[in-house]
Structure 1
Amino acid sequence: MSSQLEREPAPELVESSSSALDKGKGKSTAASHQESTESTPLLASRSYVLPGDGDGDDDIESTSQSNPALVSTLTSVFLITLSISILLVLLLLSLAFSYAAQASRISNDDILSDSLVFHGPDAIDVLNISQHGDVWLRIDGRVGLDAGAIIDVKPGDDDSLWLGAWKAIGRWGIRNLDTVSLSLSSINITSQHDPEVFLASIAVPPFQIPLTANPPDDVSWLTPISVPVHIYPSRNITTWLEFVRDSWHSGYAVARATISHADVRGGSWEWRTWRSVLTVSRSNLTFGLRVKVPALPNLPAPGDDLPLPSVADLVHLTHFSLTSGVHNLTIDASATIVNPLPASVSFTAPHFPFVIWIPAPSNDTTLVPLASVTSAPFSLTHPNITFSLNGSVLPISHSATPALSSLISDYLSGVDHPIAITTPSEFFHGYIAHTTFSAPHPRPEVLHNVTIESMKVHPSGTTIIASGIVHARLALPEGMDITISPSRVLPDALIFDGPLPLQLDPAYTFPPLPLPITNPDNDDAPPPAPPLPNPLPTGAFARVRPSAWLAALTAPTAPRRDWGERGNTTLRISARFADVPLEVLPGREREFRSFVGKVIWGAGDGAVAGVQGVVAVSVRVEGLPVDPRDGDGVGGAMVLTGLPFQGSVRVGKK
């Protein structure tokens, strides 16, 4: 044992004779042979020696010899990986170029007509209409792009293995791309027949379109979309009217849409991702529009070679009232208009101003402003839209009074009167809508219970003259709550032998004539006599018409509802006439002699005669504004003509 200890070198001697690397090796080796005790450090020494059969120099030599093999292996792996990546990139680029080449062969018309599918609109909400005529809409619908048809990657029954794989990769790419964003320049709508005829320009913001590789035959693959649209219509109303007439005649609204530039980008337009690498631009896109004109209720079907309905055919007055105010006449009315739009269109119209014009009696082409009205906001309903109007009568000059007189006379006589409608909106600037002011039907009975009291006829030279007192009730129809003061009347009546027959053939109605007057209260000239009806009614033998106005005495009275008086303005009118010539009607001399014989030779107080005709009334209307240049401001006077009446009279012997 002692000899063994002598042969082992002491640790101190080994440490002093070794290099720095050997020192570490010796210490580690010695430490590795020591048994662990409670005083052994938990952390081992930081010096390590590679295992080997020899000493430290042999280990370093073997390590340096193994490094070239590791480097060679890593280099080979890198080069192989790089080659495979390059091949994959080239393959993907080749596929991408093949898909792009396939898509480039598709024409714009094929994309718009076959690949891009829009179903709807499901809803159209009119957001605003400016005073310049611009329209803001929000259109809801369903949209989708059949991208599989564009690059021709839909599976086919006769596809080869390579073609099937090529299409499968294309469908996989479409599914991963998912959506594209579309940015369009303004869409210009022009006439199909003449591209120079501009109709409207449409602006839409960028929006997304979902892609589908192999859509089904139904519309279940489409995605809901809501897009705001700004429309700038043409200010040329004549152009629009011609377009509407042509569309009605053919049954289809046909136009041409042009897009100067369109950009397509993969993914969202706001966020750039790998999908944004796909960018496609198209220029000068042109495609046709063809929309069927819907049938309108109670009107001929479009395309039946029938003329376009007029405004009078579409708009119907359902209520009208005229009320006397302190300084004006207020108007309240309601009307209906046929709604040609589908139920998917929602719209709340704002206040819209109108001006009502009436033709001058002396010249139908000259229009006189009558009233300023404004429509209340309304929503679209089907089949008709009901809206209300309110406003007031404009100041009337004395030269325009005959036009207003003619309008009211027609209304009270149950005759529709022509009017014109304009609006100060710039969109409709210069457009005049001609329609009619609907009179109540049946015709209101304004003058009734007409009698002639103490009527006597006697000869005066070669002429038969008559005298008496006319009594009548004047009841304005419901809705005309105006205060009037009749000052003069001018009856024009036919006299019948005996009471009026139940059926008159034809009804005796004098047509109202233009009244060239300037101031009805001071003008003593009566309105011109209208012509006799042709043919003359059966039983009529004479005509009574004073040559001058008759002064009228009036007094208000309560309306008789049981007599059919529905309005709130009712007056009793009396007028005395004396020595009025009795004009024997042409060819009715025998009937005249027979009636005179009954008066002279008949028993009692004379003979009963029927009376039917019309009357002209000069009235002052409270609140009717008068042009300050022609009067005192309010309370204008007018003449109402052609007011029909019928009654009876007992003619005495003296």
Structure 2
Amino acid sequence: MALAAGDAKGKTKANQPEQTTERTPLLQGESSHGTPLSDVAADLESAGFRHRLRSTLTLVFFTSLFLCLLTFAVIVLFAYSFASSLSDVSPQDLLDKGIVYEGPSRVNVLNATDGGIWINVDARVGIDAGSILGVNSEDSEGTLKDVWRSLGRFGVRLLKTVSAGLSAVYIRSSGQALLGVVSLEPLELPITVNPPHDNSWLTPVSVPLFVQPTNNSSDLAQFITDSWREGVVSAHVVVPTVDIWGGGVKRNNWRSMFKRTEKDLDIQAMVPLPPVPGLPSPGSGEPFPPFSKLLSLRDFNIVSSAEGLVLRAHASAVNPIPPKLEMTVPSLPFIISVPGVGDTFVPIASVHNEPFALAHPTVSILISGHVLPLSPEAADPLSNFVSRYLSLQYNPISIASPLFPSLSVDAEFPSLETRPQILRNVTIRNMKVKPDSTGNELLASGQVFARLVLPKGMNLTLDVKRVFPNILVFDGDIPESVNATASSNSSCAALPNPLPPRAFGHICPEEWLKATSTYDGSEDGGSAFFVTASIVDVPIEVLPGREQEFSNFVSKVIFSTKGAVAGLQGAASVGVHIVSLPVEGGGDDSEFVLRGLPLRGVVQIGKKFSL
């Protein structure tokens, strides 16, 4: 039993693994777990391989990553260098090589304020950065130059846009005379490389500008004259400060780090003047046409109303803008003035244009306004203006805007095409003639009748107060060949030279004749009035060398059973009050004189001649 137990115990120990100690041999026929040593060696070799593989792969990965990052950094640095080069380009190079524009296609005058005009300009603009930097694609050379250009194009595409902020821009003539000042907000323009040959790549832009024209009218007129004579608008664009940076106007990122500032830029701009239909070609040597050639008054209407004298007009103007350019103009105020004493001008009307768009070849403009309340000093200038207008004489005016009080344009008010016949059907009823106390002159008495018809568009209410006739008297009807008139001056001193045939007498009173008038509707588009005045013992002066004609006429009056027919031709001045026209002070100061109104009539003189 004991042996059996010992055997069992020995067997049990033999089946249990032995404890591994520091003294356990490393090399045994089998492992402590019963695993063969060859398998353990294989496992250890596999683990080492996997460790070496992981190390190798890690090294390859980080090496590749480093190389990629290095390559990317190099590319980015190259790209940055090109982007930085673009930001360092001078504005002159940008204008000469890089900026491509089309237009402007539309100009809208938004509004006007004291001292300036807001306008909005539409155009299409782009910057060919590839041309500036020399990186646009060309024929492949298969060299590093192509790689260099590719990196440059990549840098431009990274930058995408550039922005520019300009201080006030001063426009000066070639003689350095200031023409105006332009202010604008910062601009953002896209940049590109390899643009197509057409303009399809350009980006539409809409730029608001605030323009302040010069207050020196003579400098502006001289600039227009010089430009027309040379056929080229030549001006200097002076910019004290220009800031250029990468990226958008209001964005703050890495692109905005590329900045450049230019000082005191002076860029000369030269733009050829296009031909204008209806005007001489610019640069042909002919002077710039006067204002009357540019603007024609189609029709106008002046109406007396409870609010005063209301003005409405329809004018057409030559459009000097190229046909492809659209332009709109809002309502703008203007003051019309006429020459006063010396070099002064007297304001007489406040008008404004209706909003309009430019059309070709002429522009139609509607104008409305009113006659201003006039000072007593304005009566004579206004009288001269109207008299010259009715006589088809040159009539200078000055046009200014209350928005630009220091800037005015001298112009000529368009005249009528034909001289209107204001005084019509002139005759003297119940005319009597008698010798004066010396027997050397005849004295005439009677009632003067005439019809005063204002030109088309003058629908005024008048009150005729007095007349001053200056008349030649003819023996019989006035010859058709006679066109000359007696002097329109109140002094009666001047006579036509030579004297017309059959004219023998001259009627010119020493004082104005009192007159009355009544409204008689309208005729030919203007209001009409009957005018009457009495003449009492007005001398009939015998013209020099016409004593025989005078004697023949007197003989007809005395001995003819039918009396004699006398022709009347000359001019008259008429003093009127214009109803609804406010004049400071009123009374005689509110009277206006229409001078030099031609008249033509006939009078029958019977046997009422007394010796």
What TM-score do the two structures reach when normalised by structure 2? 0.82
Which has the larger displacement, 52-61 or 408-417?
A: 52-61
1:326 touches 1:622 (CA, 8 Å); kept in 2? no
Deviation sequence 1:67-112 (CA, Å, 0-9, x none): 6523541354146425633662575367558857986997653432
SS at match of 1:490: strand
* Contact kept in structure 2, 1:203 and 1:231, CA below 8 Å: no
What are the residue-to-residue correspondences of 1:197-596 with 2, within 5 Å? Answer: 197=178, 199-213=180-194, 215-259=195-239, 260-265=241-246, 268-270=248-250, 276=255, 279=258, 281-284=260-263, 285-326=265-306, 328-360=308-340, 363-425=341-403, 428-460=404-436, 461-504=439-482, 506-508=483-485, 510-511=487-488, 513=489, 527-529=490-492, 531-559=494-522, 565-567=523-525, 569-596=527-554
Change (3 A) 1:549 1:295: same
Query: What's the counterpart of residue 4 of structure 2?
Result: none
1:177–1:419 distance in 2 versus 1, CA, 3 Å: same
**Partners in 2 of 1:509 and 1:438 — Cα distance?**
26
Give yes or no for the alignment of 1:148 onto 2:130: yes
* CA distance in structure 1 between the partners assigned to 2:548 and 2:487 by the alignment: 24
When residues 397 and 73 of structure 1 are mapped into structure 2, their CA distance, relative to the original with a 3 A threshold, is closer
Residue 3 of structure 2 aligns with which residue? Answer: none
One-letter amino acid matched to 1:604? T
Q: Which 5+ residue runs of structure 1 have no aligned equivalent?
A: 1-5, 20-48, 514-526, 560-564
Task: Report what 1:121 is aligned to.
Answer: 104
State the 1:492 CA deviation: 1.4
**In 1, Cα distance between equivalents of 2:138 and 2:311:** 72
CA contact (8 A) 1:625 1:635 kept: no
Unaligned segments of structure 2, at least 5 residues: 1-7, 22-32
Contact 1:125–1:347 (Cα < 8 Å) also in 2 = yes
Inter-partner Cα distance in structure 2 for 1:165 and 1:558: 90
For 1:631, the equivalent position in structure 2 comes to 586
The alpha-carbon distance between structure 1 residues 396 and 157, as it changes in their structure 2 partners (threshold 3 A), is: closer
Q: Is the 8 A contact 1:178 1:211 kept in 2?
A: no
Q: Report 1:153-192 matches (<5 A).
A: 153-156=135-138, 159=141, 161-171=143-153, 174=156, 176-177=157-158, 179-186=160-167, 188-191=169-172
Does the 8 Å CA contact 1:124/1:140 hold for their aligned counterparts? Answer: no
| Structure 1 counterpart of 2:455, one-letter code | P
Check whether the contact 2:463–2:516 (CA below 8 A) recurs between aligned residues. no
CA drift at 1:133: 1.0
In the alignment of these two chains, the number of paired residues is 585
Go from structure 1 to structure 2 and tell me whether the alpha carbon gap of 1:327 and 1:282 turns closer, same or farther (over 3 Å shift): closer
Q: What is the CA–CA distance in structure 2 between the aligned matches of 1:192 and 1:370, rounded to whole Å?
A: 33
Higher mean C-alpha deviation, range 316-325 or range 339-348: 339-348
Matched residues in 1 for 2:142 and 2:274: separation?
Answer: 49
Q: Which amino acid aligns with 2:172?
A: S
Residues 361-393 of structure 1: CA distance to partner in whole angstroms, max 9, x if unpaired? xx3423333233333333333333333333333
Question: Structure 2 CA distance, aligned partners of 1:233 and 1:93?
Answer: 48
**1:88 equivalent in structure 2:** 71
Cα distance in 2 for partners of 1:646, 1:195 equals: 58
User: What is the deviation of 1:615?
Assistant: 1.7
The range that moved more, 229-238 or 293-302, is 229-238
Q: How far apart, in 2, do the equivalents of 1:587 and 1:436 lie?
A: 42
Distance of aligned partners of 1:392 and 1:225 in 2 relative to their CA distance in 1, 3 Å threshold: closer
Please tell me the residue identity of whatever aligns with 1:549. W
Deviation at 1:435, TM superposition (A): 2.7
Q: Is the 8 A contact 2:123 2:204 kept in 1?
A: yes
Give me the whole-angstrom Cα distance separating, in 2, the residues matched to 1:286 and 1:459. 85
Distance verdict in 2 for CA 1:235–1:84, change over 3 Å: same
Is the Cα contact below 8 Å between 2:441 and 2:539 reproduced in 1? yes
Distance 1:407 1:369 in 2: 12
Distance 1:103 1:626 in 2: 68
- Give distance in 1, aligned partners of 2:176 and 2:395: 40
Going from structure 1 to structure 2, the CA distance change for 1:346 and 1:510 (only over 3 Å counts) comes to: farther
Which residue does 2:120 correspond to in 1?
137
For 2:30, the equivalent position in structure 1 comes to none
CA contact (8 A) 2:292 2:414 kept: no
Question: Structure 1's 179 and 238: CA in aligned 2 closer, same or farther, altered over 3 A?
Answer: farther
Match for residue 607 of structure 1? 564
Once residues 177 and 528 of structure 2 are traced to their aligned partners in structure 1, the CA distance between those partners, rounded to angstroms, is: 61
Give yes or no for contact 1:207–1:227 (8 Å, CA) kept in 2: no
Cα pair distance change 1:450/1:14, threshold 3 Å: farther
User: Within 1, Cα distance between the matches of 2:55 and 2:409?
Assistant: 93
Name the CA distance, whole Å, in 1 between partners of 2:577 and 2:159. Answer: 77
Structure 1, residues 302-351: CA drift from partner, whole Å, max 9, x if none?
22333333433333333232222346333223333333223454444343
Q: Secondary structure at the match of 2:477?
A: coil
| In structure 2, distance between residues paired with 1:137 and 1:651 | 74
Q: Give the match's secondary structure for 1:388.
A: strand
What's the TM-score, normalizing by structure 1? 0.77
Cα separation, 2, equivalents of 1:624 and 1:126: 34
Match of residue 643 from structure 1: 597
Contact kept? 2:425, 2:601, Cα under 8 Å: yes
Aligned partners of 2:589 and 2:309: how far apart in 1? 10
Three-state SS of the structure 2 residue aligned to 1:626 is coil
Identity across matched positions, percent: 35
Secondary structure, aligned partner of 1:382: coil
* Helix, strand or coil at the partner of 1:77: helix
Change (3 A) 1:14 1:352: farther
